[in-house]
Amino acid sequence: MPTYEYECRDCHHQFELFQSITAKPITSCPKCKKNKLRRLIGRGAGIIFKGSGFYQTDYRSDHYRKQSAADKPSADTSKSASKGAVKAAGPAKTEKTGAAAKA
């Protein structure tokens, strides 16, 4: 619920009133009791977030999280694909041992 600022046009009394957004503005001044009260355009209050952060994804449903986890590729699939790429790259080099290496 916001705080509204009011001013009396007759006695210039200014005050703040904490009331619902849907409530109608009051018209009677609490000081002089005349119906010359007007609601002022207030400066408003800033929003203060405390903590590490606030993100839209903080409050995702369990169904969304499970579906997201199912869509990610598994670690086993990516490892086997990279091994196949190494084998197809070319023939393996062999070291010569024994008499052939000395020659």
In a domain, 33, yes or no: yes
In the predicted structure, residue 29 carries a pLDDT above the cut 60? yes
Question: Among 25, 29, 26, 35, which Cα is nearest to 13's?
Answer: 29
Query: What percent of the chain lies above the pLDDT cut of 70?
Result: 52
pLDDT digits (tens, 9 = 90+) for 40-62: 876 666 666 666 666 666 667 78
In a domain, 81, yes or no: no
In a domain, 14, yes or no: yes
In a domain, 28, yes or no: yes
Burial class (CB in 10 A: 0-12, 13-18, 19+), 29: buried
Q: Which amino acid is at 25?
A: P
Query: What percent of the chain lies above the pLDDT cut of 90?
Result: 26
In a domain, 84, yes or no: no
- Per-residue tokens: 84: 């196949």
In a domain, 90, yes or no: no
In a domain, 12, yes or no: yes
In the chain, the number of structural domains is: 1
Predicted TM-score (pTM) of the model is 0.42
CB atoms within 10 A of CB 8: 20
In a domain, 91, yes or no: no
CB 15 within 8 A of CB 30: yes
pLDDT bracket for residue 20 (50, 70, 90): confident
Give me the helices (H) in the chain, please.
62-71, 75-87, 99-102
Question: What pLDDT score was predicted for residue 37?
Answer: 94
Q: Which domain holds residue 14?
A: 3-40
